[in-house]
Amino acid sequence: MDVLLDNLSLFREGFYGTVKLTVVSALVAIVVGVVIAGCRVSPVLPLRIFGTAWVTLLRNTPLTLLFLVAFFIVPKVLYPDLDSFVLAVAACGFYTSAFVAEAVRSGINTVPLGQAEAARAIGLTFAQSMRLVVLPQATRNVVPPLSSIFIALTKNTAIAGAFDNTDLFNVSKTLSNDGYDIVMIFIWITLAYLIITYAINGLFRVLEHRLEVAR
């Protein structure tokens, strides 16, 4: 009778699915986001244009549209055989990377210009001065906005559930099709999402605290 106990393994699968989508997409978003932020402050004009275009395009496109592009256009035009997890991570990761890039860029802007100038003046390349001097000092201001970006990402991964990925959203659909009480499904699924977003929240609190102590 109980939807949770009857389908524990299905719930577990959906939970892991959402966690996996979130974590892998977050990693993609961080790496791509930092690189794009670097492009946006780079002295090389084509890179700046590319960075700005990336952020503008991805931030202003509905994520569902990105999923449609990833699942229906990418396989036709570029790569026919990518599995649904990779496509979902690409859509969620690239979408989120635009928000990460903006957070990183505003963090970079809080570091006094003289720091980057001094770094370049001793002969560090642009990439080195970012990595060794600017980004370490920007981290403190980048971490707080990242927390809400990744919580939004967690919820956004639900769209992947509608595109052939096993996650919490996908499980909720399966169970309601099986005839379970929609309210009970909703409560358990919501609770599962809450566990993940609370974990992210907690993780970032710890990070922020660490960074403050390190000062």
Partner 1 sequence: MTEVSVTKDAKPAADDLVVLKGVNKHFGALHVLQDIDLTIARGEVVVVIGPSGSGKSTLCRTINRLETIDSGAISIDGKPLPQEGKELAKLRADVGMVFQSFNLFAHKTVLENVMLGQVKVRRTAKAEAEEKARGLLDRVGVGSQADKYPAQLSGGQQQRVAIARALAMGPKVMLFDEPTSALDPEMINEVLEVMQQLARDGMTMVVVTHEMGFARSAANRVVFMADGRIVEEAVPDQFFSNPRSDRAKDFLSKILKH
Residues that bind partner 1 (CB under 8 A): 43-44, 112, 114-115, 117-126, 128, 132-133, 136-137
Residue 124's contacts (CB-CB under 8 Å, 6 or more residues apart) are 132, 133
Contact 96, 29 (CB under 8 A): yes
Q: What are phi and psi of 43, to 5 degrees?
A: -75, -10
Kindly tell me which of 58 and 133 has the beta carbon lying closer to partner 1.
133
Structure tokens at 69: 């592009």
**Residue nearer to partner 1 on the CB measure, 80 or 123:** 123
**Nearer residue to partner 1 within complex by CB, 117 or 181:** 117
Report, in Å, the least distance between residue 53 CB and partner 1.
Answer: 21
Provide, rounded to whole angstroms, the least separation between the CB of residue 132 and partner 1.
6
DSSP state of 138: H
> Minimal distance in Å, beta carbon 123 to partner 1?
3
Distance CA 81, CA 98 (A): 26
In whole angstroms, the minimum distance from the beta carbon of 55 to partner 1 comes to 22
Nearer to partner 1 by C-beta: 43 or 80? 43
Contacting residues for 184 by C-beta, under 8 A, at least 6 apart = 2, 3, 4
